[in-house]
Amino acid sequence: MPLEVIQNTQVNQIPFTLLHSDEVSYPISPLASAKLISPTDGAPFLSIRVTLYIDSAVTESPRVQPNPEVIDNSLQLYFDYNYSEEIPKSLNVWYLELEYTSPTAKEITSVTSYLKDIDPETSKGTKTQI
């Protein structure tokens, strides 16, 4: 499989609240970083780290769609969760570490990550340059 989830962990033990939550656009876009790794003894791959801010009322961990597409040299990642249409009272932080292996990994210039509601009316995305 070209996309491997190395880690999917809730970071905080106590949910947190934002001081001015009414000024934030929900859902909050993913915060992502990506780096091309070219080992001397293997295929190149992307090391991707993502932080997700999800309503603390959601009890299950976010899921990563397993077969991402590359569109215009941008890897498209989707993180699925069940988002409430109401503004969350508090949030949990999720840290995900991924590896994407492909013969064309060196051609990828950015990663576009989406926090995707299972009900797709409410989704948010971020584009990260490599």
Q: What 3-state DSSP class applies to 86?
A: coil
Does the pLDDT at position 17 exceed 70?
yes
Residue 34 — very low, low, confident or very high, per pLDDT cuts 50/70/90?
A: very high
In 3D space, the residue among 24, 30, 19 whose CA is nearest the CA of residue 117 turns out to be 30
Q: Looking at residue 1, what is its pLDDT?
A: 57
Q: Looking at residue 128, what is its pLDDT?
A: 67
> How many domains are contained in the chain?
1
Which residue segment(s) compose the domain that 79 sits in? 3-129
Q: Looking at residue 108, what is its pLDDT?
A: 96
Reported in sequence order, the residue ranges of 11-90 that DSSP labels E, i.e. its strands, are: 31-37, 45-55, 63-64, 69-71, 74-81
For the stretch 41-95, pLDDT in tens is: 888 999 999 999 999 998 889 999 999 999 999 999 999 988 777 888 899 999 9
Q: Are 75 and 100 in contact (CB under 8 A)?
A: yes
Q: Looking at residue 97, what is its pLDDT?
A: 98
